[in-house]
Amino acid sequence: MVINRWLNSVANAGKNLLRSSARDKNTITALCTQLYSNKGEALGIALADEVAVAYAGLNQAQKTEFFHTLATDYSPDPELINRCAAEYGKTQSLAAYRALAQAVESPRQTLFRRINMAPKGTRTMVNMREDLLALLSDDDSLRAVDDDLQHLLSSWFNPGFLKLRTLDWESPAAVLEKLIEYEAVHEMQGWDDLRRRLDAQDRRCFGFFHPALPDEPLIFVEVALVASISSSVQSILAPQDGAVAQERLKTAIFYSISNCQPGLRGISFGNFLIKQVVMRLKEEMPQLAEFATLSPIPGFRAWLNKVLADEQQSLLPARDTALLTALDSPHWHQDSSLTARLQPLLMWLCAHYLVQEKRGSAPLDPVARFHLGNGASVARLNWLGDISQKGLQQSAGLLVNYEYDLEEVEEHHEAFLNRGEIACSPTVRKLLNRQG
C-alpha cells in the first residue's frame, strides 16, 4: 500500500539519524523514553519501528516487565489532575477544561499513538493487547494499561475505517489460509472444505478488513443461500450435490461468524458486518426474503451442568435430573427412545436458558447477547442441529435460529437496549410454557 511505502521511506530516513544518536539499542524501555520525548517526524517513525521490532523480540517475562513499566511510568499525575480539577471548578473556563482534559489523558496513550506510526505499528499494538489480555486475570495492576489500549484500538478500528470484502476462491492465498486458521465455529477440514464454503452458487463469505492490515481479516461471516430456514449445520456443511436452482434460494443463513484478532476482543464490529452483508446480498439477489442465523449455544451445557450440580436448585425435579445424566454418554443422541424422552425437556431448558437466564439485564449466552443486541429475534430451536462432538459438548446438539426481520430489527434493538426485552417467536414462547 502507498501509505506503508511512505512510512517505510520515512522510517529509513530516520534510521540514519538514529545511527548518529547515542542510545541504548537493546532495551525497549529506553526506546520508548526516546519515542515519547521525540518531536521529529522522521526520527519518530524510525524510533516507533525500533520499538515494534524490539517488542517482537521479547519473551513472556520481558513482556510482563514491559507492561508493568507502562503501568508505573506512563500513568497520569494525580496531583496535576487535582490541581487542574480545582482550577476548572473555580473558573469553568475553556483553558481550564483543556488543561484538565490533558492532565487526565494517560501518557501511555501518547506513547501508543507514536508506536502506531511505525509501518507495522498497528499490528504491533494488536499483538500487544493480545499478550496483555492473557495477563489480566492474574494481575489487576495492568487493567489501566488495557483501558488505554482498548480505547485507542476502538478508535483506530472504527467501522467507518473498515472495508467489506467478498471472499471467494480467487482471494489471495494468504487470506484463504487465515480463514482456515481463524474459523471458530465449525472447523474447516482442509482446502476442499474451504472451497465448498467459498466457491459454490449457494455459498458466500464476507469479511471486514482494515487498511493497516490489508491481508488480515478482522471478522468474517459464512452464508448459506437456501430455500428456507435451515435446522441442521451438517446439511449446510455437506458437499454440494448437483446444480443449484437460483430461483429457489429465498433465505440467507449466517451459519458461522468468526473473530480473527484476539487483541481486538471487546471491540465490536460484527453487528455492522451483518447489516452490510444483508444490504449487499439484497442488492445481488433481490429475491431473498429471509435473513437468519444457524447459531451455536456455547454456554448451554456449562449452565446446565451448574444447575445439575446445585443441590439447592429448584428448576428441575429429581426425575428430570436423573434423565439428564444420559447426556454423559457419548452416543446418547443415537438412541431414539432416549432422545424421544430428552427432546421436550432439553428444548424447554434451552429456551429458558436463552430467554430467562441473565447476566445483569442481558442474556447469559454470549451469542444470544450479540444477535439480540443487533435487533434479531429468537426464531426457533433446532433439535440435534449439530451432532458434531463440539456441538454435543457445548449445547447437547441444539442450535438456534436468530432471525433478522428487516422491518423489525430497529424496534427489537431499541426494546432490548432500553427495556431488556427479548424478541421471541410464538414457537419459542410456547416452549417456555411447557416442561416435558
Cell of 356: 430467562
**What one-letter code names the amino acid at 88?**
Y
Kind of pairing between the strands at 290-293 and 358-359: unpaired
106 given a catalytic annotation: no
Inter-residue contact 254 to 223 (CB < 8 Å): yes
93 given a catalytic annotation: no
CA–CA separation, 417 and 186 (whole Å)? 30
SS3 213: strand
SS3 204: strand
Please choose, from the candidates 364, 376, 370, 434, the residue with its C-alpha nearest in 3D space to the C-alpha of residue 404: 376
Strands in 349-391 per DSSP E: 358-359, 362-363, 377-382
Inter-residue contact 153 to 125 (CB < 8 Å): yes
Cα–chain center distance at 240: 30
Inter-residue contact 167 to 220 (CB < 8 Å): yes
65-68-72 Cα angle (round to 5): 140
With both helix axes pointing from N to C terminus, report the angle between 366-373 and 409-419 in degrees, rounded to the nearest 10: 120
Q: In 205-333, which ranges are continuous DSSP H helix?
A: 233-237, 270-284, 300-309, 318-324
Choosing from 256, 258, 295, 377, which is the catalytic residue? 295
Evaluated on CA atoms 87, 93, 96, 100, the torsion sign reads positive
Evaluated on CA atoms 180, 186, 189, 193, the torsion sign reads negative
CA–CA separation, 69 and 80 (whole Å)? 20
Inter-residue contact 145 to 67 (CB < 8 Å): yes
Evaluated on CA atoms 9, 30, 120, 162, the torsion sign reads negative
Choosing from 186, 210, 333, 371, which is the catalytic residue? 371
Residues classed as catalytic? 295, 371
